[in-house]
Amino acid sequence: MAFAELWDSLLPVGRDPRTSGYRRQAFTDVDLQCRVWFSNRALERSLRLQTDRNSNLWAWWDRPGGGAAVVTGSHLDSVPDGGAFDGPLGVVSGFAAIDLLRERGFEPSRPIAVAAFAEEEGGRFGLACLGSRLLTGAADPAAARELRDGDGVTLAAAMTGAGLDPAAIGPDEELLGRVAAYVELHIEQGSALDGLGAAVGIAEGIWPHGRWRLDFTGRADHEGTTRLPDRRDPMLPYAATVLAAREAAAAHGALATFGKVTAEPGAANAISSAVHAWLDARAPDEVTLLALVAEVAAAAREAAAAHGVEVGLRRESYTPPVEFDPGLRARLAGALAARGITAPALPTGAGHDAGILAARRPAAMLFVRNPSGVSHSPAEQAERADCEAGVVALAAVLEELAGR
Ligand code: GLV
Ligand code: MN
Ligand code: MN
């Protein structure tokens, strides 16, 4: 099947008609529709469908001799109002690459699989790459079961509601042992490839990054009657912390962002009793990252004290620096060069399941050009011809890794 037909079959699922962005949150009805889409694509290709213990989906092109597989894929969940490409491009390209290999009569010497990892964005339960972290033992299953979404629903309850078994989650050495290598194709989340005039690139590594939750607790009061000096308004230290984070990030050559904030009780005429905010911080190295977060935390404490507000800080998610397997990267580069494909090497500040798997298995990534560089937004875009070039590149890589 051509890329276009596969791509178009997924496109309507979870699209918000107001914004054209995607709301594909883990274990929701839309997620179930994505899972049905994946199952149908696997079954129509006679690929063996597996939902693993951690709700990740696998479509296996089994081989008689068995052996460890070359796995490709990505994720189908999105950030709230995300773009169409972040995640789905890798899954769709995986199926399309298998179609291309079969059209050519390619017979792999080892199994090939397409995977779709659960809750990669952490958009619902806060812990990014949840499915791959659980699989590889990088997340504690008991703690994961107790994670709550914005409505207070636990992961365990959400999984049960989706017909999945939360008691089963946890490390899966047997499945991991069946993965010889993981190669994730992903839209580039910057515009470096555009600048270099290349349709595809090879990831070098991922900056260390994490999420920290800050809870500012003050006192709700009447906005029309409470004198300014009498207030304990948590919005003020929160605002000071946003500005401090931006300044500290600039000083460190790093990134720090508050992209999510909630205020309680959330009334237009009541001073907030509490403000909950999420800091996303990323840096070229861990020392810088930890120094940056320490500075933001100190600024939050100082501003909170100045306004009679309490502040608590808790790390919700952390990914150490990742350097993708140099040997595997060299094989990717060689396979692409042999077919005349120029694929520059790129670092990235974005997190991926490939970064989590890299701690346990050889992993690598291919990026596809994104002319605007925009991602985590409905404006995310890749040209059809570049997506097709991505499929050709991925097929070349699968052929190299699973060939005789
Ligand atoms: C995942 O897309 C992340 O980097 O947050
Ligand atoms: Mn993303
Ligand atoms: Mn992604």
Q: What pLDDT, on the 0 to 100 scale, is given for residue 153? A: 98
In whole angstroms, give the CA distance from residue 1 to residue 100: 8
Nearest to 204 by CA among 402, 382, 355: 355
At 113, the amino acid letter reads: A
Digit-by-digit pLDDT tens for the chain (404 residues) are 689 999 999 999 999 999 999 999 999 999 999 999 999 999 999 999 999 999 999 999 999 988 999 999 999 999 999 999 999 999 999 999 999 999 999 999 999 999 999 999 999 999 999 999 999 999 999 999 999 999 999 999 999 999 999 999 999 999 999 999 999 999 999 999 999 999 999 999 999 999 999 999 999 999 999 999 999 999 999 999 999 999 999 999 999 999 999 999 999 999 999 999 999 999 999 999 999 999 999 999 999 999 999 999 999 999 999 999 999 999 999 999 999 999 999 999 999 999 999 999 999 999 999 999 999 999 999 999 999 999 999 999 999 999 97
Q: Give the pLDDT confidence score for residue 123 in this predicted structure.
A: 95
- What's the whole-model pTM score? 0.95
Name the 3-class secondary structure at 271. strand
Contact between residue 359 and residue 129 where contact means Cβ atoms under 8 Å apart? no
Which ligand 1 atom is at minimum distance from the Cα of 351?
A: 4
Distance 87 CA to ligand 2 centre (A): 7
Rounded to the nearest angstrom, the distance between the alpha carbon of 351 and the centre of ligand 3 is 7
Which residue's CA is minimally distant from atom 1 of ligand 1? 351
Q: What is the spatial distance between Cα 392 and Cα 36, in angstroms, rounded to a whole number? A: 26
Q: Which residues surround ligand 2, an ion (CB under 5 A)?
A: 86
Query: Distance from the CA of 21 to the center of ligand 3, in angstroms?
Result: 15
**What pLDDT does 66 receive?**
85
Cα dihedral value 277, 282, 285, 289, nearest 10: -20
What pLDDT does 55 receive? 98
Fill in the amino acid letter for 364: A
* C-alpha Rg value of the chain to the nearest Å: 22
Name the helix (H) or strand (E) containing 278: strand 274-282
Q: Kindly give the number of the ligand 1 atom that is closest to the alpha carbon of 86.
A: 2
Determine the Cα–Cα distance for residues 222 and 271; give it in Å rounded to an integer: 6
Ligand 1 atom with the smallest distance to the CA of 79 is 2
Closest by CA position to 124, among listed 289, 243, 14: 14
Q: Residue 109: how many CB atoms within 10 A of its CB?
A: 12
Which position has the token pair 């107001």?
18
Residue 192, helix vs strand vs coil: helix
Asked if 289 and 171 count as a contact pair (C-beta separation under 8 A), the reply is no
Instruction: Look at residue 143 in the predicted model and tell me its pLDDT.
Output: 98
Q: Angle 235-252/286-306 helices, nearest 10 degrees?
A: 150
Quote the CA–CA distance of 124 and 25 in Å, as a whole number. 6
Check residue 81 and give its pLDDT: 97
* pLDDT recorded at residue 2: 87
pLDDT for position 196: 97
In degrees, to the nearest 5, what angle opens at C-alpha 177 toward C-alphas 397 and 166?
A: 110
SS3 of 49, please?
A: strand
pLDDT in the model for residue 65: 85
Alpha helical stretches, state H, 146-283: 155-161, 173-176, 192-196, 235-252
Q: Closest ligand to 255 CA?
A: 1
Q: Which of 352, 356, 367, 377 to mutate to test the pocket of ligand 1 (most atoms within 8 A of CB)?
A: 352
Question: What is d(CA 124, CA 147) in angstroms, rounded to the nearest whole number?
Answer: 9
pLDDT at 330: 98
pLDDT at 1: 66
Q: Tell me the per-residue pLDDT of 308-335, one tens digit each, with 9 for 90 and over.
A: 999 999 999 999 999 999 999 999 999 9
Burial (CB < 10 A; 0-12, 13-18, 19+), residue 365, is buried
Find the 209 Cα to ligand 2 centroid distance in Å. Answer: 13
Pocket mutation for ligand 1, best pick of 117, 376, 377, 380 (most atoms within 8 Å of C-beta): 376
What is the structure's pLDDT at 348?
94
